[in-house]
Amino acid sequence: MVDKPTMTTSAGAPISDNQNSQTAGPRGPVLLQDFHLLEKLAHQNRERIPERVVHAKGWGAFGTLTITHDISKYTRAKVFSEVGKKTDILLRFSTVAGEMGAADAERDVRGFALKFYTEEGNWDLVGNNTPVFFVRDPLKFPDFIHTQKRHPKTNLRSKTAMWDFWSQSPESLHQITTLFSDRGLPVAPMYMNGYGSHTYSFWNDAGERYWVKFHFKTLQGHRTHTNAEAEKVIGASRESYQEALYGGIDRGEFPKWRVEVQIMPEMDADKTPYNPFDLTKVWPHADYPQIEVGVLELNRNADNYFAEIEQAAFSPSNVVPGIGHSPDKMLQARIFSYADAHRYRLGTHYEALPVNQPKVPVHHYHKDGAMRFMPNNPNSDAYYEPNSFGGAVEDSSVKEPPLRLTGDADRFNHREGNDDYSQPRALWNLFDDDHKRRLYANYAAAMDGVPDEIIARQLAHFEKIHPDYAAGVKAARAELAGNAHKADAISDNESAGV
């Protein structure tokens, strides 16, 4: 017989009966003094917290980053300090638009959020499975997300809203070409790449800054679903990603990614024909080749999904000495947005939760607030700064080199003189004919029922990428309409008994 512990209230008192409420007589009613019942019901009412406003549905696991190549001439970050160095990581994947209960195998961009528990504090790289994004100015982010979420009246997702927004935002062309291509619907998280997407910076011991992009290349190979395959998968299971990721790791199949960086010397930023801080652009590999850095491996499932994956808080504001930000406007907005979201979603002391806690001692002078549970510093007189009692002090040796900035403060039109067509064209040129046909068919399905003037506006953008691109989408729309017409005729005939 297993020696079972005695069940207790949350205050630790033993429970005598967990089967029968306390009632006045065997037929009830229940007594208000049955605190055990009240506590159970009250706790149940508090089991849900706000879901992430975006990227609500997610799957995650823990693992390791192992450095295989020396890049310490670019960055002083200790995570990259020597070949063979290992750092613990957490990686959470997600879809963007769906809510917590959404099906996994939906066409959408996937989040690729990394937390590196480094010896200099947590470094978070909160990226996606695409190297670019839909918009390049953060003022447009809430509008864009509104078009992806539910319509306020119908409470349904609206194809019209999506295409209305995209057709008036040509900077989205690069990202939607990816989204509606094969890689827009991976089979499971192991079969897709991750990208830091933004331009970040590296800085070294000599105080030299380099611009950097991060890439995580799947070593499992790319595997994707067509729309038709995904419909079947969702019919059988809405949790196909959780099953594949959790199940794989549980069986000892540990997915891996090759970590690469592209490095741009600081002054090159003035010379590139594109703005290297524009999130809708990649840096062509021919100009800035990939440099291998290490391997990322996932090898441990969370023991408690809610505590370790749902309560995980990733923020682009979390950088460590040797890694910095860039003038990318989107990145600048994200430096604010995430920690703000965490204080709302998880509470003031979210960084003290075990999953978010740095694996190094923290010494700050923030004080109190809801659910403060951390002990005082051992030196309790040093609760302000500066103090004369040996409290923690700043360290000027980790000062980031100055960020060069130019120009007047203004609201500059980011669409003026910006080439939104060449890089989507380069991507489209990578697709073979069958892939292009699937791209066009995916567009046709996603555009079904959208008003003509919006479609015309979008087709004009596709035309500027390439006339064949627009022609392909038009042909796919005509085929879809023809098929629907035929299907209507068949069902009319069937109901007429023909």
Residue whose token pair is 């967990």: 18
89 strand-pairing partners: 63, 116
Structure tokens given for 184: 């827009």
The yes or no reply on residue 438 touching ligand NDP (CB under 6 A) is no
The yes or no reply on residue 334 touching ligand NDP (CB under 6 A) is no
Q: Of 117-125, 153-161, 229-237, 427-435, which part binds ligand NDP (CB under 6 A)?
A: 427-435
The yes or no reply on residue 482 touching ligand NDP (CB under 6 A) is no
Q: Which is nearer to ligand NDP, 285 or 359 (CB)?
A: 285
Total residues interacting with ligand NDP, rule: CB under 6 A: 17
Q: Pick the binder of ligand NDP from 172, 193, 311, 315 (CB under 6 A).
A: 193
| d(C-alpha 191, C-alpha 74), whole Å | 30
Which is the catalytic residue, given 36, 43, 55, 413? 55
Residue 445 is inside which H or E element, if any?
Answer: helix 433-447
Q: Residue 228: is it exposed, middle or buried by C-beta count within 10 angstroms (0-12/13-18/19+)? A: exposed
The yes or no reply on residue 194 touching ligand NDP (CB under 6 A) is no
Closest CA to 342 of 17, 55, 9, 41: 55
Q: Which is nearer to ligand NDP, 58 or 131 (CB)?
A: 131
Closest CA to 420 of 278, 303, 323: 278
Q: Pick the binder of ligand NDP from 217, 258, 345, 437 (CB under 6 A).
A: 217
Which single residue brings its beta carbon nearest to ligand NDP?
427
92 strand-pairing partners: 60, 113
127 strand-pairing partners: 112
Which is the catalytic residue, given 128, 193, 356, 442? 128
Q: Which is nearer to ligand HEM, 114 or 444 (CB)?
A: 114
| d(C-alpha 384, C-alpha 361), whole Å | 18
The per-residue DSSP string of 165-221 comes to HHHT-GGGHHHHHHHTSGGGSBSSGGGS-EE--S-EEEE-TT--EEEEEEEEEESS-
Q: Residue 302: is it exposed, middle or buried by C-beta count within 10 angstroms (0-12/13-18/19+)? A: buried
Given ligand NDP, ligand HEM, none, residue 128, with its beta carbon under 5 to 8 Å by kind, binds ligand HEM
Q: Pick the binder of ligand NDP from 91, 427, 450, 454 (CB under 6 A).
A: 427
Q: Which is nearer to ligand HEM, 141 or 254 (CB)?
A: 141
Over the window 96 to 135, marking each residue x when it contacts ligand NDP by CB under 6 A and - when it does not, the resulting string is: -----------------------------------x----
In the complex, least distance from residue 333 CB atom to ligand HEM, rounded to whole angstroms: 4
| d(C-alpha 323, C-alpha 315), whole Å | 14
The yes or no reply on residue 442 touching ligand NDP (CB under 6 A) is no
Q: Pick the binder of ligand NDP from 295, 333, 426, 471 (CB under 6 A).
A: 426
Given ligand NDP, ligand HEM, none, residue 123, with its beta carbon under 5 to 8 Å by kind, binds none
Closest CA to 117 of 161, 69, 81, 64: 64
Q: Of 19-27, 240-248, 426-434, 446-454, which part binds ligand NDP (CB under 6 A)?
A: 426-434
Q: Of 40-48, 277-285, 460-468, 472-480, which part binds ligand NDP (CB under 6 A)?
A: 277-285
Given ligand NDP, ligand HEM, none, residue 193, with its beta carbon under 5 to 8 Å by kind, binds ligand NDP
Residue whose token pair is 């917290």: 49
Given ligand NDP, ligand HEM, none, residue 111, with its beta carbon under 5 to 8 Å by kind, binds ligand HEM
The residues of the shown chain that bind ligand HEM, judged by CB under 6 A, are: 52-55, 58, 92, 94, 111, 113, 126-128, 133, 138, 141, 197, 279, 312-314, 330, 333-334, 337-338, 341-342, 345
Question: Does the active-site annotation cover 429?
Answer: no
| d(C-alpha 401, C-alpha 460), whole Å | 45
Q: Are 110 and 94 in contact (CB under 8 A)?
A: yes
- Cβ neighbors of 230 (< 8 A, separation 6 or more) are 105, 106, 107, 185
Distances (CA, A) of 455 to 165, 237, 270, 470: 11, 33, 37, 11
The yes or no reply on residue 178 touching ligand NDP (CB under 6 A) is yes
| d(C-alpha 283, C-alpha 265), whole Å | 13
Over the window 288 to 327, marking each residue x when it contacts ligand NDP by CB under 6 A and - when it does not, the resulting string is: ----------------------------------------
DSSP class of residue 14 equals: B
Q: Which is nearer to ligand HEM, 90 or 473 (CB)?
A: 90
Given ligand NDP, ligand HEM, none, residue 426, with its beta carbon under 5 to 8 Å by kind, binds ligand NDP
Question: Does the active-site annotation cover 275?
Answer: no
The yes or no reply on residue 223 touching ligand NDP (CB under 6 A) is no
Given ligand NDP, ligand HEM, none, residue 92, with its beta carbon under 5 to 8 Å by kind, binds ligand HEM
For helices 433-447 and 227-236, the axis angle rounded to 10 degrees is 60
Active site positions, annotated: 55, 128
